[in-house]
């Protein structure tokens, strides 16, 4: 890992991630699926929690040795950010959501803000949406309950600003706004068979990575 140049962290299930070789040799693939064919730098991780687990796990496990700039993407990032914009955004040296939603029209359910960023109505529609498959329940009743658990100054908002797919350019300084124990706790929030917690954290990550709220004392150690 070269900590001085952007380091790519790809979350893979079974996608073709060979595109990364056109961008850099400074990367790792966090692999949840079948073995990757070819000579790629990869680490097998549990198939839990979507790439929200991968982000929190990587920061937790590398907290004392983080790269200066980290680029967290899905193994196929173009669903959420077109390639032209992706190529421009990853040149940044500051916290940046990797997304392209300027083409969407505003609706009651979602709006596009002045910067082209995606916002969604805060109604926790996803709570329980995926749990019937496994007959298990999410540990939270709402997004707000999760945020209040961790942040003492959180105030409910009508719309949540987040990057669908959780693709972000993150600086070391961003990641270290909260202590290592917080990233450990966030990883442990993501159980094996429930994706609902992952949806909650997907919506919280932009605020977490930008250090918007004050962490409760009991969550620091």
pLDDT digits (tens, 9 = 90+) for 10-63: 999 999 999 999 999 999 999 999 999 889 999 999 999 999 999 999 999 999
At 1 the pLDDT is: 66
What is the full DSSP assignment across 11-32?
A: EESS---GGGGGT-S-EEEEE-
At 135 the pLDDT is: 45
Per-residue pLDDT at 179 exceeds 70: yes
Per-residue pLDDT at 136 exceeds 70: no
Q: Name, in order, each residue with C-beta under 8 angstroms of 76's C-beta and a sequence gap of 6 or more.
A: 15, 16, 17
Instruction: Note whether 50 and 68 are within 8 A (CB).
Output: no
pLDDT digits (tens, 9 = 90+) for 158-174: 999 999 999 999 999 99
Lowest mean pLDDT across 135-139, 151-155, 171-175: 135-139
Q: Name, in order, each residue with C-beta under 8 angstroms of 214's C-beta and a sequence gap of 6 or more.
A: 151, 152, 153
For residue 193, name the pLDDT band (cuts at 50, 70, 90).
low
Q: What percent of the chain has pLDDT over 90?
A: 75
Q: State pTM to two decimals.
A: 0.93
DSSP state of 106: P
* Mean pLDDT score across all residues of the chain: 91
**Residue that wins the pLDDT comparison between 28 and 132:** 28
Q: Where are the domains of the chain?
A: 7-219
Q: Which of 217, 207, 132 is nearest to 182 (CA)?
A: 217
pLDDT digits (tens, 9 = 90+) for 106-124: 887 888 887 778 999 999 9
Measured between alpha carbons, how far is 145 from 71 in angstroms, rounded to an integer? 29
Measured between alpha carbons, how far is 212 from 215 in angstroms, rounded to an integer? 10
Q: Which of 191, 184, 188, 194 is nearest to 221 (CA)?
A: 184
């Amino acid at each position: 890992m070269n900590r001085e140049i952007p380091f790519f962290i790809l979350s893979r299930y079974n996608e073709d991630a060979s595109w990364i070789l056109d961008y850099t040799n400074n990367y790792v693939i966090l692999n949840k699926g079948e073995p990757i064919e070819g000579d790629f730098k990869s680490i097998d991780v549990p198939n839990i929690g979507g790439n929200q687990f991968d982000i929190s796990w990587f920061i937790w496990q590398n907290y004392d040795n983080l790269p200066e700039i980290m680029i967290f993407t899905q193994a196929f990032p173009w669903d959420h950010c077109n390639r032209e914009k992706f190529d421009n955004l990853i040149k940044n040296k500051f916290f940046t959501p990797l997304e392209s939603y300027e083409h969407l029209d505003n609706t009651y359910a979602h709006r596009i803000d002045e910067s082209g960023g995606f916002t969604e109505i805060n109604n926790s529609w996803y709570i329980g949406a995926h749990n019937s498959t496994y007959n298990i329940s999410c540990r939270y009743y709402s997004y707000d309950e999760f945020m209040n658990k961790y942040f003492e100054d959180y105030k409910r908002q009508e719309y949540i600003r987040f990057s669908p797919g959780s693709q972000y350019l993150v600086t070391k300084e961003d990641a270290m706004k909260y202590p290592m124990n917080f990233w450990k706790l966030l990883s442990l929030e993501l159980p094996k068979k429930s994706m609902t917690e992952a949806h909650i954290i997907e919506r919280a990550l932009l605020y977490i990575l930008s250090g918007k709220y004050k962490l409760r004392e009991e969550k620091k150690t």
